[in-house]
Structure 1
């Protein structure tokens, strides 16, 4: 067989179902090989979108999403989405076509050294310079991408190698399980928890990756320790739980700031520093950290680790729970902080002002969705509101990219999420700035017959940047832009499109969008004057 056919066969052997991407001249052999494969190639309208889809697929399934681009501009377009998956710790494999080996020694059409370009944004990458190594390269790419902490890997295939004849076979798949912390470490961790007067759990995305939510719940019920979530850890503990302190992540003060200030121990579980810098919640570095994760903690002066508990998060939480005696705590302060946060959303439930306030949009959205429905937030001012106020009851039901945090992730991500969970409602929450970056993927959703809902928060500007400008300089600079008629634009792709004209119309429009079970875009003007009102309100918080 050709090397490209062997590559595809190895991917099949690894259980790959989809490849997202854009074909090109230098991957003609791969595209031809896919015609005889069980793998479905999903044509996207931009390479960055292909990587966003693959990254979301990886996050939801735990298996690497695979994306493909040709050399040169195709590969550089793909790069942002690959970097996004890598920093969000989503397993992904990127495959790039490449110039033949016979012209890589000189300046050549569309040629860049992609192995060097991709090296900083992947866990591992390699170029296939001989067909004999394909089985090893594919096996290693899958293995490294999924090993904790997961991320992106990259395979570069020159076009002349892709067409060569080869006789080889996929390697046997060997699954590796994480080790567990030693008993002496577990006992020391239990002792630290029992000695703390006001411990606080900081739940990161590693809990979801490790399928450890039930073990977290058992620990919380036994020890009565309150839990605050990072943006990417939302849903690790249901927000219905009385010990859930919802979500932290704003750069400034918030209600949960009081919780961090009162704490004499932060138990960071599955937490990655890219999600929420420790300087924001442990500014003087005085509060000790019990670090429970698959890897030892990054060195940070604001993250003073008292003990590392390393290995399987799920198994180590189980062992900790067995080693701890039931603990009663006075958690009245938890009730106050929690009630303040919940009241903030409740008070906007019946607000009918127009343009619609962010709190009202979130209230209406949450009220029409099931507990297991999936919302994917793009990056912008709406992300801050969604992270802070959209309540989650299950893991991976509010997906927020907060590592690289690239704009444009929501619509491609919603497509992948609907492919993984066709029986759940999937909503992409976008600003008009982020939507315009990958909005062409509406055509992909139509072509694949995927009834996603795009909820567009329209303010004709880069709202998050204006928020920061107003906080720092008290004035805005170069953030406004024009928009198309989003209703006509969406309809031209084949979407149903609905515009919000009154504050009281949003909830019924969302209900209609769910009921018709078709791809729908909702154009919703948003009142971002609430941004600075929130800043002023939080500045007045006294613990």
Structure 2
């Protein structure tokens, strides 16, 4: 068989269901081999979108999403989405076509050294220079992509190698388990918690990655410890639980920072520093950290680790439960923090202002979507509002990319989310700036018959940058742009298009969108003057 055919067999052996990408001249052997494969190739309109889809699929399934591009501009386009998945710890395998080995020693049409280009944004990568190594390369790429902490790997396939004849077969797939922490470490961790007067948990995305949410919830109920979530850890504990202090991550003071300032021990579980800088919630560097994760903590002066508890999060929490007493006392100091944060959402439920306030948009969205449905937020001012106010009862029901945090992820991410979770409603929450970066994937959703909902917050500019400019300089600089008629644009792609013209329109529009079970686009003007009002409000919080 050809090398390309063997590579496809190896991917099938790993259980790959989809490859997202854009075909090119240098990967035509691989594209041809896929015609005889069980793997479905999902054609996208941009390589970055393909990687966003693969990363989201990897985050939701725990299996590496696979994306493909040709050499040169195809590979450089793919790079952003690969870097995004790697920093968010989403398992992903990127495959790039490449110039033949016979022209890699000189300046050549569309040729860049992709192994070196991808090296900083992947866990591991390699070029297939000889035909026989294909099974080893694919097995290693898959194994390292899912190994803690998960991330991106990259395979570079020169076109002359792809067409070569080869004999071989896929390697056997093997599992891998994480170790448990030593018993002495578990006992030391228990002592730290017992000695603390006001311990507080910061829950990160690693809890969900490690499928530890059930044991985590048991641990919280036993210890009665309050829980703050990172943007990517949302839902590890339901917002309905009295011990949930909701979400941290917005820079500066917030209701949740009152919880951190009260605490004398912060227990970080499955938390990655890339999610939210410790200087935002431990500014004086004086609150010790109990770090429970799969790897040692990143070195940071605002993250003073008293003890690392390293290994399988689920198993280590289970062992920790055994040596901690059962508590029946809910800490009273968290009650007012919860009340203030939840009140903020409810008080805008009947707001009639137009354009709509961010709080009103989120209130309506939260009322319409079921707890199991998925909202995926793009990057922009709306991301900060969604993180603070879209409260979740289950993990991975509000997807926020907060590592690389690349704009443009929501629409392609929603497509992948609907493929991974077809029985849940999926809403892409976009700003107009982020939507225009990958909006062509509306056609992909229609072609695949995926009933996603796109909820566009339209402000005709880069709202988050405007917010920062106003805070620092009290004036704005080069953040405005024009927009098309989004309802007409949606119709042209085959979406149902809806325009919000008064505040009372949004909730019925969302309800109709859910009931239609077809691709729906909702154009909703947003009043971002609320950004600076929030900034002023948070300045006056008295813990």
TM category, shorter: over 0.9
Q: C-alpha separation between the residues in 1 aligned to 2:70 and 2:413? A: 22
Pairwise CA distance, 1:89: 0.3
Is 1:98 the counterpart of 2:104? The answer is: no
Is 1:381 the counterpart of 2:381? The answer is: yes
Is 1:135 the counterpart of 2:135? The answer is: yes
Equivalent residue of 1:222, what SS?
A: helix
Contact 2:243–2:330 (CA<8 Å) still a contact in 1?
A: no
Is 1:303 the counterpart of 2:267? The answer is: no
Pairwise CA distance, 1:327: 2.8
How many residues align? The count is 543
Equivalent residue of 1:457, what SS?
A: strand
Structure 2 alignment gaps of length 5 or more:
none
Pairwise CA distance, 1:324: 0.5
Aligned to 2:269: 269
Aligned to 1:201: 201
Moved more, 217-226 or 522-531: 217-226
Aligned to 1:321: 321
Pairwise CA distance, 1:222: 1.1
TM-score by length of structure 2 reads 1.00
Q: C-alpha separation between the residues in 1 aligned to 2:283 and 2:187? A: 29
**What aligned pairs does 1:102-501 form with structure 2 within 5 A after superposition?**
102-329=102-329, 331-501=331-501
1:481-503 alpha-carbon deviations (Å, 9 max, x no partner): 00011011111000000000010
Q: C-alpha separation between the residues in 1 aligned to 2:252 and 2:176? A: 41
Q: C-alpha separation between the residues in 2 aligned to 1:57 and 1:205? A: 15
Pairwise CA distance, 1:328: 4.5
Q: C-alpha separation between the residues in 2 aligned to 1:474 and 1:359? A: 23
Pairwise CA distance, 1:148: 0.3
CA RMSD of aligned residues (A): 0.6
Q: C-alpha separation between the residues in 2 aligned to 1:180 and 1:375? A: 34
Q: C-alpha separation between the residues in 2 aligned to 1:333 and 1:344? A: 19
Pairwise CA distance, 1:329: 4.3
Contact 2:245–2:256 (CA<8 Å) still a contact in 1?
A: yes
Aligned to 2:512: 512
Equivalent residue of 1:148, what SS?
A: coil
Structure 1 stretches of 4+ moved >2 Å = 327-330
1:4-62 alpha-carbon deviations (Å, 9 max, x no partner): 00000000000000000000000000000000000000000000000000000000000
Q: C-alpha separation between the residues in 2 aligned to 1:260 and 1:424? A: 35
Q: C-alpha separation between the residues in 2 aligned to 1:449 and 1:183? A: 52
Equivalent residue of 1:274, what SS?
A: helix
Q: C-alpha separation between the residues in 2 aligned to 1:292 and 1:331? A: 22
Aligned to 1:19: 19
Pairwise CA distance, 1:326: 1.4
Aligned to 1:42: 42
Pairwise CA distance, 1:431: 0.2
Q: C-alpha separation between the residues in 2 aligned to 1:216 and 1:472? A: 40
Pairwise CA distance, 1:133: 0.4
1:180-208 alpha-carbon deviations (Å, 9 max, x no partner): 11111111111111111000000000000
Aligned to 1:532: 532
Aligned to 1:87: 87
1:66-90 alpha-carbon deviations (Å, 9 max, x no partner): 0000000000000000000000000
